[in-house]
Amino acid sequence: MTQGPDAEHSGDPVVVTSAPTATRVASDYAFVAEGQIPPAPPPPGSSGPLLWVRENLFPDLLNATLTLITIALLVWMLPGIYQWAIGHAILDANSLDECRQRMDELYGEGERGACWAIINERIQQFLYGRYPEELRWRPTLAFLLLFPAAAPVLFSRPAQPILVFFAVVWAVWGFSAWWPDEGFDAMTAALILGPPLIALGLARIIPPVRRFLLVFSVLFPAVAYFLIWGGSIWGPILVVATPVIAYVVYWLVERMLDDTLGEELANTLAMIASIFAVAFWLLFGVAAVDEALTRAVADTRIPDRVAMLDQVIADPEAEDAARAAARRERSDLLALDEQRAEISGLRLALEKLSTESVATPEGAKPVADFVHEDLDASPELAAASMQALSPEDQDLAEAYQTTESRLIGEQTRIWTIYKNFGRVGIEQVESAQLGGFLLTLIIGVTAIAGSLPIGILLALGRRSGLIFIRMVAVTIIEAIRGVPLITLLFVASSLLNYFLPPGTSFDIILRVLILVTLFASAYVAEAIRGGLAALPKGQYEAGDAMGLTYAQSMRLIILPQALKISIPSIVNIFIGVFKDSTLVSIIGLFDPLGVIAPILADSRWQGIYAETYVFVAALFFVCCFGMSRYSMYLERKLKTDHR
Amino acid sequence: MKTSILIGTVAAGALAAGLAGAGTLDDVKAKGFVQCGVTTGLAGFAFTDDAGDWHGFDVALCRAVAGAVFGDANAVKFTPTTGKTRFTALASGEIDVLARNTTWTLSRDVDLGFDFLAVNYYDGQGFMVPTSLGVSSAKELDGATVCIQTGTTTELNLADFFRVNGMSYEPLPIETNSEAQQNYLAGACDVYTTDASGLAATKATFENPDDHMVLPEIISKEPLGPLVREGDEKWGDVVKWTYFALLTAEEYGVTAANVDEMIANPPNPDVARMLGVEGNMGEMLGLPADFGAHAIKAGGNYGEIFEAYLTPLGISRGLNKLYTEGGLQYAPPFR
Amino acid sequence: MATTEAADPRFAKGDRPEPSFRIEMLWTDARYRSLFLQIIAFILLMLAVGWLVNNTIQNLGRLGKDFNFGFLFTEANYDINQRLISYDSQSPNWQAALVGILNTLLVAAMGCIACTVIGVIAGVLRLSKNWVVSKLMLVYIEAVRNVPVLLQILLWYAVFIEALPKPSAFRAKADAEPEATLWFDMIAATNRGFYLPRPVFEQGMTLVGLTVLASIVLLFVFNWARKNYQNAYGAEMPGAMIALAMLFAPVAGLAIVSLLFPVALIEGGLAQIPANLGAAIGAQEFALLAKAAGAVLVGALIGLVLWRAPISSMRVLILFLPGVAVYYLLGEPMTWIYPELKGFNFMAGDDAAIYARNSLMALWLALSVYTGAFVAEIVRGGIVAIPKGQTEAAAALGLRANRIMSLVILPQALRVIIPPQISQYLNLTKNSSLAIAVGYMDATGTLGGITLNQTGREMECILLLMAFYLAISLTISAVINWFNERVKLKER
C-alpha cells in the first residue's frame, strides 16, 4: 500500500525536545528544525466543496461543457415539470372543465397544470378495478399478509425489516380503516394492534420464528385465494390438506408393500401411488368433498329456514309480497325431496336406456356411445349421423339425449339450491370484477410462485443427462422464450379452450394466469440453470461421493445453493412479469392500464390523458424500483456469503 | 403461489364442464342466469353507470331474455367483449348470447358457425368529419386519413368504398371506440367511420357536437342483431321469440306499464298468446307461459327501449320503425 | 431408502446380483434406468400431446371448423397504411402477413440501431466522473427500466398526437399566418407523423452510389493490407497514406472502370465531369470547381483527422467522403421535393411524401429508449468488468489512451457486452409486437389482428405468428452461440 500525502502529515505535531545528556542541542545549529512545522492547510481549492465541484463537475473542457449543457437542460425543463405536476395542479374537481376553470381562477388565464382530480376520483378503480367496494378490505388484507409470507421464502435476514414494515403498514391501515367508523372497543383494538405486535415480537426472535413463517408461506396461497375470491371455505382447506393425503397414501402403500416387494420398490411404488392420489384428489376429490360438506351443511340449515319461512307466512303483519315470496321459497325447499326422487327416477331410466344399442352404418353401437360420440359433433355431422339411423333408433337416441339432459339439469338445479344454503364462507367475488393494481399483483405473484416449481423442473431437465428429457426441456424453454408474451396472451384469450376437453371453459383470468405462469417458468428455468452452472463441480461430486441419490443430492446440496444464487435474477424476472402484466389490457382485462380507457370515455373527463398515464407509470415505478433495489441488496448480501 | 388452488378450481371447472354439454337453455336454467356478451362500452348500446350496472339498447335485449327465462330482468351477467374476442367468447361457451351490434354477414353466419336470430337494429356505415373540414360528401374524401376500428366489417366496407370510387386513403386502425375518439378529436385523422348509430352516439358525447357532422353517404348495410352458437335451435328460438315479443308488444301497444292490464284483458288473440293468457307458446319454447309478459316488464317494448337509450343520442328510428309505420321491423305472428 | 451397502442383507450374505435381467433392474440398475425413465417420459409426453390434439380436433369438429391454411390465399379485403411492398385490399392474406412481417423487421432494425446508440452513450456517460451527467443517466436508466414498456409506447403516442399540430394548422389562413411551419422548411411534423422530403435522383447518382460501394470494398482491402504491413514491418502503416488512398482510390478506380464500360455503368454521369469543369472555367464561374476542389481538400483533412479519432468506428465516416466529393463534382445530381399540404395531407409534388407515421415513431422511440436503458447497464457492466490492471498494464507498455481503449479494453469488454446485447435486440423485436396498442401494422397487427378477425382462423393465425417470432429468436440465438463459440476459440 502506498502512503498518501495524508499519511505523512497525520498525527499531532511532536515537538522535539533536546536530550538532557547532549551537550549540544539542535537549536545550536541554524539548519536544524527545533520542532515539526505544523501542517499547513491544503492549498485553496484542493479540498472542500470547491474541490468536489471542480473534480466532479469541471475536470476538463469536455466535462465542463457536458455539465453546463446538462444544467441548462435541467433549468429549462424542471420548472415546467414542477409547474405542471405540482405548481399549477388541481386536486379536487368534478370534471375537466371545472379543473380548467379553477386553474384559470387560481393561476391566471390559460395557465395549465395537471388535473389530478381524476386520479383522486378514480383511485379505487386503479387499485381494485370493479372489486365490490365494501369487500375491498379483503384484497388489502391479502396484500399485507403477502409480506410475512414472502419473507422467509426470499431470505432469512430481510424478514426482520419486512415484518417491521408489515407492522407499521397494518397499524396505519388499521387505524384508517376501522378507527373512525367503529369507534374504540376491545375487538377493534386487538385487530389493529394485535398483528403488528405479534409481527414485532416475531421480528425480535427471528430464528425460531422462521419455521413458523415458512408454514404461513405455504398456507398463504390458500389464504389469499380465499380472501380475494371468497366463496366456500372448504375448497381452500381441502386443497391445503393435499400433503396430508399424499403422506397418508404414501405411508399406507409403503407399509403394505414393504414386506413383499423390498424397500426400494415399495418406496417407488408408494411415491407413484401418492402422486396419483394427489392428482385424483385435486381433480375430483376436492370438488366431491366440497359438495358433500356443503350438502351436509345445507341439510342442517334447510329445516331452520323452512321454520323461519313458516313464521313469516304465519305473521299477520307481514306484507303480501313478502308472504308470497316466503311461500314460494318454502314450496321450493319442500320440493327438494321430490326432486331427489325425480333424479333417481331419471337415473334409473337412463341406466335402462343405456343397455340398448342402435344400428349405425358402421354396426351396432351402445346408445350412450352414439349420443356422446356421433352426436357430439358439428350440427351438420350430427344431423347426418341421426339421419343414418332407423326411425326407432332415432327415437331411442333422442330419448336418451333428453333424459340425460334433464337429469343433468335437475342435478344442477338442486345443487344450486344446496350451494346457496350450504355455503360456509364469505361472499364470492367473480374474476371479472378483479382489476386494477390488484390484478397486476395477482398475476405477478401467481406467476412467480407457480413458475418456481415448474422452472426448477425445467432447469433440472435441461441439465439432465437423459437426452430425451433434456430435449423436451430445451424445446419448451426456447419455444416460450422465443415468442412475445402477447402471442401467449392471445393463446389464453382465444386458443386455450380448444386444447381442453370439449365443453371445459374457465374464466379468462385463470387462462391468463396459466399462460403467464408458463411464460415466467421458462425464464425462471434459465435463471436457475445459471445458478446450477455457477456451482463448483465439486459440489455435485461431493453429493455423489456421499452416496446420495440424485433426488437427495439435488434436494440437500445442489438446489439450496443454486436457488440462493438465482434469487436476485428471479426477483428481476418477477419485476419483468409485473411490468409485462400490463399487456393483459390488450386482451380486454382491466389492469391499471386497462381501466384508463373506460375512464377516458367518461364525457366529464374527455380530453385528459397525461395524468392517468403518469399516475400509472408512477405506481409501477415505485413498486419496480423498490423491488430492483431489494434485488441489488440481495445480490450484495449473497456475494458476501460466497466470499 | 395459488397454483394449487387453481388446480382445484380447474378441477371444479372440469367437473362443471362434464355436466355441461346439454342444450344452452338447460345450462342457462341450471346456472340461474344468462351470460350475455356486450361491447366494452358504446354510448346508447351498452355502458355502465356509476354503480357498475349495465344499461343500453343491447343490454336491454339481454335483460328481456333473462326476464323471459327467469321472470327476473336481473338474472343476467354481462361479459364485455372487444371486436376481437367476441366470437371466441361465444364459440367457447363463455357467453350464451352475443348482443353486441354485430353485423349479420354470410361468412359469420355460415363459416364462423353462428346463428343470427334477428335484426334488432338496421344500421349502415357512415362517416363523421369536423365541419371545419369543409367536406359535404364522402366522395370528396380522396387522400384523407380515416380512423377505423379494427376487427369489424367497417374496415372491409371502407376498403371497398374507396376502391370502387377510385380514391386513395390512409387507414388509421384503432382498437377501441374511446381511442378512436381521442385520435379523431386531436385531428390525427380527418374522418371517423363506423356504424351511423355509433357515430351519432359518439358525436353526442363530444364537448361541441355541432362542430362535427355525419356525411349523408351510408356505404354499407349493417343489420345488427343478437347471435348464438349454431346448432342450438332451442336456445336460439328463446332469444328470437323474446325479441319478437318486444316487437309485437310495440305493435299492439303493450308497454311495461300496462302489461298487467293487458294480461287481464288482452286486446287481441295474438297479444293473449304472447302474454301467455291463451295457448301454450311458453311451453313450446321450454319457458314459463308468461315469458312474453316478463320480457316486456324487463325494460319495455322495442319502442320503449329505443326511446330510452337511442333517442336521447339524437338517433331517429328510420329503418327501425315498425313495418306498420314504413320501417323494417316486423315480427312473425305468435301462433 | 438411504441404506448403506454394508447394511444391505444381500451384500451381507455375499451373493452378487444375478447378471441376467430382472424386471426391477429397470429402476434399480443404472444401465437400464435412464433408458427406462426416458421411455416412460416419452410415453407420458406422447399421451399428453395426443390428449391435446384430440381435444383440439374434437373442439374444432364441434364448431364445424377445420384446420387449413387456405385462407392465406384468399383476398385480404382490407387496406394497410404502411407497406414496404406493393399491396392493396385485393391482395391475398399471405401478402398482408408479409407486409406486417416487413413492418416488424423495419421497426426492429430501426430500434436496434437507436437503442445501441442511446445505450452506449448513456452507459459511457453513466461511468463518467462528471457527477451531474452520471446522476442524470442514473435517473434516465432507473426511470425507464421500471415503467412498463406498453405504457411508454402509449405515452409517446399520446404526446405525438396531442402535442404536435394537425396538418390543417400548416394551411395559410386568409388573414393570418399558418399556425405551424415546416422544420427547416423540409420536415412537416404533424400529429399524424413526420413528412420528409422525397429525394429525386438525377443522372450521375449511380456514380455516387458506386463510389460509396467502392469505398466500402476498399476499407476491407486496406484493413487487410494494414495488417500485413504491420506483420511485415512491425510498425503501423502510416495513417495518412491510407486516408488519402481511401479518398482518391474510389474516384480513380471509377474513372478507370468508366473508361472500360462507359455507357452501361454510369448513365453518362462521368461524361458530365469534363462538361461541368469546362462550363465552370469557360463561364468564368469558379464556384463549381472551387466546390469540387474544396470537397476533396476538406475530405482529405477530415479523413486524416478521423483516422486518428479515438473511437475506431468513427473511421466508418471516411467511407462517405469520396462519395460526397463525387457528388459535388457531378454537380449535385440529387434534389429534394419538399412536402407541401395538398388536400387532407402532405404530399411531395404529386407523389406521396416520405412519411414516418406517428405509430412508427412512437413505437420506435419508446422501444429504443426503453431498451437503451438496459443496453446502458450492459455497456457499463462490460466496461466495469475489465480489471483496472489491464488499463495499467497497457499504459505501462506505453500505449496511448485511445489505443488502450481500442486494443485492450474494448475487445475484452465486447466479449462481455455482445451476448446480452444481442438478447436485448431479441427482446426489442419481441416487444415490437406491442405495436397493436398504437395501430402500427406489424405482423401482430395484420396476421394476428385483422386477418385473424376477418377470417376467424385463430388457431392458424396465432400459430403462424408464433412461428414467425420463434424463427427470429432462434436465428438470433444461433448468432449468439456462434459469437460465443468464436470468442471462446480465440481465448486459448
Q: What is the mean pLDDT of chain A?
A: 79
Say if residue C421's pLDDT is above 60: yes
Identify the band that residue A486 occupies on the pLDDT scale cut at 50, 70 and 90: very high
Q: In this complex, is the C-beta atom of C103 within 8 Å of any C-beta atom belonging to chain B?
A: no
Residue in C with minimal Cα distance to B108:
C456
Say if residue C100's pLDDT is above 90: yes
Say if residue A641's pLDDT is above 60: no
Residue in A with minimal Cα distance to B20:
A503
Say if residue C263's pLDDT is above 60: no
Contact check, Cβ <8 Å, C191/B170: no
Contact check, Cβ <8 Å, C433/A580: no
CB contacts, 8 Å: B80 with chain A: 588
pLDDT of residue C281: 45
Q: Mean pLDDT lowest for which of A388-402, A480-494, B244-258, C94-108?
A: A388-402
Q: In this complex, is the C-beta atom of B136 within 8 Å of any C-beta atom belonging to chain A?
A: no
pLDDT of residue C310: 46
Measured CA to CA, the distance from residue A405 to residue A455 in angstroms comes to: 43
pLDDT of residue A142: 86
Contact check, Cβ <8 Å, B231/A597: no
Q: Which amino acid is at C325?
A: A
Residue in B with minimal Cα distance to C341:
B143
Contact check, Cβ <8 Å, A268/C27: yes
Say if residue C85's pLDDT is above 90: no
pLDDT of residue C384: 86
More confident residue, A379 or A247: A247
CB contacts, 8 Å: A218 with chain B: none
pLDDT of residue A105: 86
What is the least distance, in Å, from the CA of C35 to any CA of chain A? 8
Say if residue A564's pLDDT is above 50: yes
Q: Which amino acid is at A426?
A: I
pLDDT of residue A203: 60
More confident residue, B25 or C283: B25
Contact check, Cβ <8 Å, A503/B93: yes
Under 8 Å between Cβ of B125 and B157: yes
Under 8 Å between Cβ of A454 and A518: yes
Over residues A583-598, mean pLDDT: 84
Q: Mean pLDDT lowest for which of A63-72, A374-383, B118-127, C156-165?
A: A374-383
Q: Mean pLDDT lowest for which of B46-50, B114-118, C405-409?
A: B46-50
Identify the band that residue B238 occupies on the pLDDT scale cut at 50, 70 and 90: very high
Identify the band that residue C237 occupies on the pLDDT scale cut at 50, 70 and 90: low
Residue in B327, B332, B330 with CA at minimum distance from that of residue B317: B327
pLDDT of residue B134: 86
Say if residue C432's pLDDT is above 90: yes
What is the least distance, in Å, from the CA of C184 to any CA of chain B? 23
pLDDT of residue B232: 82
| Count of helix runs (H) and strand runs (E) in chain B | 14, 13
Over residues A431-449, mean pLDDT: 89
Percent of chain A with pLDDT strictly greater than 90: 11
pLDDT of residue B19: 38
pLDDT of residue C307: 57
pLDDT of residue C203: 65
CB contacts, 8 Å: C191 with chain A: none
Identity of the residue in A379, A472, A498 whose CB atom sits nearest the CB atom of C45: A472
Identity of the residue in A499, A502, A610 whose CB atom sits nearest the CB atom of C52: A499
Contacts of B among chains (3+ CB pairs under 8 A): A, C
Measured CA to CA, the distance from residue A100 to residue A162 in angstroms comes to: 43
The set of residues, in sequence order, having a beta carbon less than 8 Å from that of A415 and lying 6+ positions away, is: A291
Percent of chain C with pLDDT strictly greater than 90: 23
Q: What is the mean pLDDT of chain C?
A: 78
Reduced to 3 states (helix: H, G, I; strand: E, B; else coil), residue B169 is strand
CB contacts, 8 Å: B94 with chain A: 497, 505, 507-508
Q: In this complex, is the C-beta atom of C49 within 8 Å of any C-beta atom belonging to chain A?
A: no
CB contacts, 8 Å: C192 with chain B: 145, 170, 172, 188-189
pLDDT of residue A18: 47
Measured CA to CA, the distance from residue B219 to residue B211 in angstroms comes to: 23
| DSSP letter, residue B43 | T
Measured CA to CA, the distance from residue B235 to residue B26 in angstroms comes to: 9
Measured CA to CA, the distance from residue C339 to residue C185 in angstroms comes to: 9
CB contacts, 8 Å: C89 with chain B: 159-160, 163
Identity of the residue in A453, A501, A514 whose CB atom sits nearest the CB atom of B17: A501
Q: In this complex, is the C-beta atom of A464 within 8 Å of any C-beta atom belonging to chain C?
A: no
Over residues A611-623, mean pLDDT: 91
Q: In this complex, is the C-beta atom of B183 within 8 Å of any C-beta atom belonging to chain C?
A: yes
Percent of chain A with pLDDT strictly greater than 70: 83
What is the least distance, in Å, from the CA of A450 to any CA of chain B? 5
Q: In this complex, is the C-beta atom of C295 within 8 Å of any C-beta atom belonging to chain B?
A: no
Q: In this complex, is the C-beta atom of C477 within 8 Å of any C-beta atom belonging to chain A?
A: yes
Identity of the residue in B5, B80, B88 whose CB atom sits nearest the CB atom of A239: B5
Q: In this complex, is the C-beta atom of B111 within 8 Å of any C-beta atom belonging to chain C?
A: yes
Q: Mean pLDDT lowest for which of A160-174, B95-109, C86-100?
A: A160-174
CA dihedral sign of residues C223, C228, C229, C230: positive
Say if residue C267's pLDDT is above 80: no
Contact check, Cβ <8 Å, C445/B173: yes
| Angle between helices A48-57 and C131-145 in degrees, nearest 10 | 60
E strand spans, A362-507: 363-366, 425-426
Residue in B with minimal Cα distance to C83:
B170
pLDDT of residue C363: 94
Measured CA to CA, the distance from residue A169 to residue A144 in angstroms comes to: 8
Identity of the residue in A59, A378, A490 whose CB atom sits nearest the CB atom of C129: A59
pLDDT of residue A2: 41
pLDDT of residue A577: 92
Contact check, Cβ <8 Å, C41/A472: yes
CB contacts, 8 Å: A130 with chain B: 52
Identify the band that residue B228 occupies on the pLDDT scale cut at 50, 70 and 90: very high
CB contacts, 8 Å: A411 with chain B: 19
Q: Mean pLDDT lowest for which of A3-7, A323-327, A532-536, C440-444?
A: A3-7
Residue in A with minimal Cα distance to B39:
A588
Chain B and chain C share a number of CB contacts under 8 A equal to 98
Contact check, Cβ <8 Å, C42/A468: yes
pLDDT of residue B248: 92
pLDDT, tens digit, 9 for 90 and up, residues C295-306: 556 666 666 565
Contact check, Cβ <8 Å, B188/C191: yes
CB atoms within 10 A of CB A154: 17
Highest mean predicted confidence (pLDDT) among A43-52, A261-270, A438-447: A438-447
Contact check, Cβ <8 Å, A265/C27: yes
Put simply, the chain A residues between 66 and 85 with a CB less than 8 A from any chain C CB are: 66-67, 70-71, 74
Q: Are strands B169-174 and C339-342 parallel, antiparallel or unpaired?
A: unpaired
Q: Mean pLDDT lowest for which of A266-280, A576-590, B145-159, C179-193?
A: C179-193
What is the least distance, in Å, from the CA of B247 to any CA of chain C? 31
Identity of the residue in A63, A380, A620 whose CB atom sits nearest the CB atom of C146: A620
Chain A and chain B share a number of CB contacts under 8 A equal to 169
Say if residue C375's pLDDT is above 90: yes
CB contacts, 8 Å: B24 with chain C: none
Contact check, Cβ <8 Å, A63/C128: yes
Query: What distance, in Å, lies between the first and last C-alpha atoms of chain C?
Result: 46
Say if residue A140's pLDDT is above 90: no
Identify the band that residue A1 occupies on the pLDDT scale cut at 50, 70 and 90: very low
Contacts of C among chains (3+ CB pairs under 8 A): A, B
CB contacts, 8 Å: B160 with chain C: 77, 89
Write the DSSP string, B234-255: HHHHHHHHHHHHHHHHHHTT--
Measured CA to CA, the distance from residue C290 to residue C295 in angstroms comes to: 8
Measured CA to CA, the distance from residue C76 to residue B90 in angstroms comes to: 24
CB contacts, 8 Å: A271 with chain C: none
Say if residue A14's pLDDT is above 60: no
Residue in C366, C362, C367 with CA at minimum distance from that of residue C429: C367
Put simply, the chain C residues between 427 and 446 with a CB less than 8 A from any chain A CB are: 430-431, 433-434, 436-437, 444
CA dihedral sign of residues A444, A447, A450, A453: negative
Q: What are A204-213's contacts with CB under 8 Å, separation 24+?
A: A206/A156, A206/A159, A206/A160, A207/A156, A209/A159, A210/A152, A210/A156, A210/A159, A213/A148, A213/A149, A213/A151, A213/A152, A213/A159
Over residues C443-462, mean pLDDT: 88
Q: What is the mean pLDDT of chain B?
A: 84
Measured CA to CA, the distance from residue C124 to residue A560 in angstroms comes to: 37
CA dihedral sign of residues B207, B209, B212, B217: positive
Say if residue A381's pLDDT is above 80: no
**β-bridge partners, A366:** A357
Q: In this complex, is the C-beta atom of B208 within 8 Å of any C-beta atom belonging to chain A?
A: no
pLDDT of residue A5: 44
Say if residue C113's pLDDT is above 60: yes
Under 8 Å between Cβ of A528 and A566: yes
